[in-house]
A and B are shown apart, each in its own frame.
Chain A
Amino acid sequence: MISLAQTIRLALTALIRNKSRSLLTMLGVVIGVAAVIVTVAIGTGAKSSVADQINGLGSNLIVVIPGSVSTTGAKTGTGGASTLTAGDGLAIAKLPGVAAVSPSVTVRAQVVAGEQNWQTTIGGVAPSYTFVRSWPVAQGRFFTQTETDDTAKVAVLGQTVVQQLFPGGASPVGQTVLIKNVPFTVIGTLTAKGQSGGGQDQDDTVLIPYTSALQRLTGGTTVGSLMVSAASAQTIDATQNEITALLEQRHGIVAGQPDDFSVRNLQDIAQAASATASILGLLLAAVAAVSLVVGGIGIMNIMLVSVTERTREIGLRVALGARAAAILRQFLIEAVVLSTGGGAIGVALGVVGATAIAVLAHWPASVPLVAVVLSLAFSAAVGVFFGYWPARKAAALDPIRALRFE
């Protein structure tokens, strides 16, 4: 009786004898697996970059934003109401689990410096903002509590704004910029922070004291959001509950009534973002899996053709003493070698493709080992599944007819 190793050798010989057809048969699985690897690499890269960006938002960050309002039955979305005040922020700052609070008032405005001008987001914040967002100053200094209390006309510029308004490379510190025609003195610049999780340029901003923003730009008393830094990561949930209780009390919300604000911590945002990335990854993987199955059907197709084409060879092998099981094994091994070989080539191509995307598109792509192992295992399974029928057909051939087959 023939050994398994010998059967594998026979199968490999048969495949090598038909090199070009073997390679073409593999192509479907090659493309399928390469697609899986590239999509998984992109998905993993997206997830890790989302996590990086969320960590970059600040340490132990809790964000309080206004809730929706429903005065006439039509609800605005979250953040639609103007219910948060700087006073809320000061009250939160007194809670024991809170390290720092900064209100945030944002407004789009044209900023002019000499002959240059630029439309950007003006952020009215407190001095604690650099701590809350873990965002240090690059040049000059940030504004002080005194300047905040005095509604001073001082500004700190993000790097994008620096490039737009001071293209010559001269230091903007000490210069004057006009924000909505109000002159502000530039006292510092922020370090570059890059894109946010949503793809926004975080450096395209000008920070001024929130008091100045309220008085000179928006003319109101409510703030867009409150950014709270919890004292420790362990107590972040407790702190969040304390903030909720405090604001409900301050806003006179009784039990059973919906809150007019919402408190979110970084983990919620991270989870939402990574859930989005996961769904995207799943979608891509599903498309890739379909292409793998199509590749498997391609293998089955060619194996069926191969069985018909090699009918006489099969008859001969039976006449020379091959057991039916040996014929079945040989054809099954051929199919598995085709699919697994295709899988291996696909992994190699996928890694090359993912690296190319990482380099060319500056997208962080990484290929997890588990994806490689799973793709190879899945393509082997595709070979077994789609190779079984043709192999059984080959093993069941009547040798007398097979030998006469033209």
Chain B
Amino acid sequence: MTRTDPVVDVRDLCKVYALDGSEDVVALRGVDLTIDRGEFVAVMGPSGSGKSTFMHIVGFLDRPTSGTYRFAGHDVAGLDGNALADLRSRALGFVFQAYNLLPRTTAVENVELPMIYAGAPAAQRRRAALEALDAVGLAKYAQHQPNQLSGGQQQRVAIARSIVNQPHLILADEPTGALDTVSSEDVMALFRRLNEERGMTVMLVTHEPDVAAHAKRLVTFRDGRIVSDAPTAREKVEVPA
């Protein structure tokens, strides 16, 4: 994988769910999208627009019915389950709406988890996890368990977990959906900082325009297609400057 290729490059992506006894559900009807390194893309769209399906395919959790998906220059169609799992552990970081931290497990152990599946040695794991917690401003909460942290803090631990392996791409699925406004702003500011200061590529799925406004580029889905793809207001203002 080279750093010059686009991180995500999909062409004519289609996804059809075959359901027993009723008509097939078409979730994606030919999607073309390229995400370059260092981009911060927000994906919006109403329920059933196909944005979640799109994210699952981009995250190797689902496979397209047709179309091509090149991840950092590699066609993923030919990869088996194990290769996709390895790719998830090394090249992707997931952030979920519900944080999905392991209960009764310290923050630093939660952050280490992707590195365990990548096969990193213990000392390296601990160092990288503490660095990642420091990057999200939670260095002194390393030994706290999720139930001792606020929602915003838990989501920041989850973000630390998503960046610990220095992934090519962070996929965030409604990361502010369970948070209040202040925590929401915190989390989005964190994504912006990771993107601007560390050059991390972020793809964010949301249905809140305020949240999407933090991204540089906004892609809108409707009925399984991309209906708009444009820089956000923030980017438009910042580009002339």
Residues of A whose CB lies within 8 Å of any CB of B are 1-3, 6, 10, 13, 17, 312-313, 315-326, 399-400, 403
Q: How far is the CB of B96 from chain A (nearest CB, A)?
A: 7
Most buried by B among A312, A316, A324: A316
Q: How far is the CB of B75 from chain A (nearest CB, A)?
A: 20
Residues of B whose CB lies within 8 Å of any CB of A are 56, 59, 61-62, 81-82, 85-90, 92, 94, 96, 98, 100, 102-105, 113-114, 116-119, 161
A319 to B98, CA, bound (A): 14
Nearest chain B residue, comparing its CB with the CB of A9: B116
Instruction: Take A2-B116, A2-B117, A324-B85 as given contacts and tell me if A400 and B104 are in contact as well, using a CB distance cutoff of 8 Å.
Output: no
Chain B residues with CB under 8 Å of A315's CB are 100
A201 to B117, CA, bound (A): 70
Chain A residues with CB under 8 Å of B86's CB are 1, 321, 323
Chain A residues with CB under 8 Å of B161's CB are 320
A322 touching B117 by the CB < 8 A rule? yes
Instruction: Take A316-B100, A400-B62, A403-B100 as given contacts and tell me if A323 and B81 are in contact as well, using a CB distance cutoff of 8 Å.
Output: yes
8 Å CB contact of B100 from A312, A321, A322, A323: A312
Nearest chain A residue, comparing its CB with the CB of B171: A319
Chain B residues with CB under 8 Å of A316's CB are 96, 100, 102
A17 touching B103 by the CB < 8 A rule? yes
A320 touching B114 by the CB < 8 A rule? yes
Chain B residues with CB under 8 Å of A319's CB are 59, 61, 88, 94
A317 to B161, CA, bound (A): 12
Q: How far is the CB of B84 from chain A (nearest CB, A)?
A: 9
Can you list 28 A-B contacts with CB-CB less than 8 angstroms, sorted by A residue number? A1-B117, A2-B117, A6-B116, A10-B116, A13-B105, A17-B103, A17-B104, A312-B100, A313-B100, A313-B102, A315-B100, A316-B102, A319-B61, A319-B88, A320-B94, A320-B113, A320-B114, A320-B117, A320-B161, A321-B85, A321-B86, A321-B89, A323-B82, A323-B86, A323-B117, A324-B85, A400-B56, A400-B61
A1 to B88, CA, bound (A): 11
A242 to B88, CA, bound (A): 87
Q: How far is the CB of B106 from chain A (nearest CB, A)?
A: 11
